Amino acid sequence: MENSSFKKHKKPIAGKDVKDQKWAKGIRGHIAKAVKEYAISDDEGLMVAEPFANKMYLANASAIGVPVSVLTDFEESEFFTKPEIAKMFGVTTRTLQRYSHKKKLNPQHTEKFLQLAEVVYEGVRVFESKEKFDTWFNKPSYALGGVTPKSLLTTSYGVEMVLGELNAIEHGIFA
């Protein structure tokens, strides 16, 4: 049964829905495993409708750790290079590569990964296309102090700022 705390988004996404992208399905499934009592079942197993709608779900999922395979799928989405992800995790690229031999990211890296995934998920949803979001994501923003949104993602405060700006754009509030 679907929990009432899930957000319902008004805008459909042009083309392939962000929820149907391989990395997003992996996140939805992983979070569902962490919060089984709130998950819904579909043809791919347990899923949550909107993976970033409930911060308690994210906290539970972070404590368990995300499978490395979900991170690999996310890298294939082409929003971040492996060196960029390593920088955002505060590790070397080699340390990130060593994760391929482990089954799950540690809780700290899982939390950071989920923050990055939330930005991409919300960005593609708000801009209604991967290409439009990618253009905005890599272009200096006046509202974000003249830096690119992507460059702010090394800290949780930066992630909050980028998500706040995406929310403002969604509601028609431009700086």
Model confidence pLDDT, tens digit, residues 115-132: 998 898 889 889 988 899
- What pLDDT is attached to residue 15? 41
The two tokens of residue 172 are 């028609």
Residues forming beta bridges with residue 41, ordered by sequence position: 46
Residues forming beta bridges with residue 45, ordered by sequence position: 42
Percentage of residues in the chain with pLDDT exceeding 90? 35
Residue 33 one-letter amino acid: K
**Mean pLDDT on 23-50:** 57
CA within 13 Å, CB half, 85: 28
CA within 13 Å, CB half, 77: 29
Domain ranges of the chain: 18-170
Query: For residue 172, which of 5, 6, 11 has the smallest C-alpha distance?
Result: 11
Instruction: Select, from the ranges 64-73, 85-94, 153-162, the one with the highest average predicted confidence (pLDDT).
Output: 153-162
**57 versus 165: which is more confidently predicted?**
165
**Mean pLDDT on 144-169:** 96
- What pLDDT is attached to residue 170? 92
Find the Cα–Cα–Cα–Cα dihedral 109, 112, 118, 121, rounded to 10°: -60
Does residue 152 have a pLDDT over 70? yes
Tens digit of each residue's pLDDT (9 = 90 or more) over 1-32 = 344 333 334 444 344 566 666 766 766 666 66
- What pLDDT is attached to residue 169? 95
3-class SS at 40? strand
Cα distance between residue 31 and residue 33, in whole Å? 5
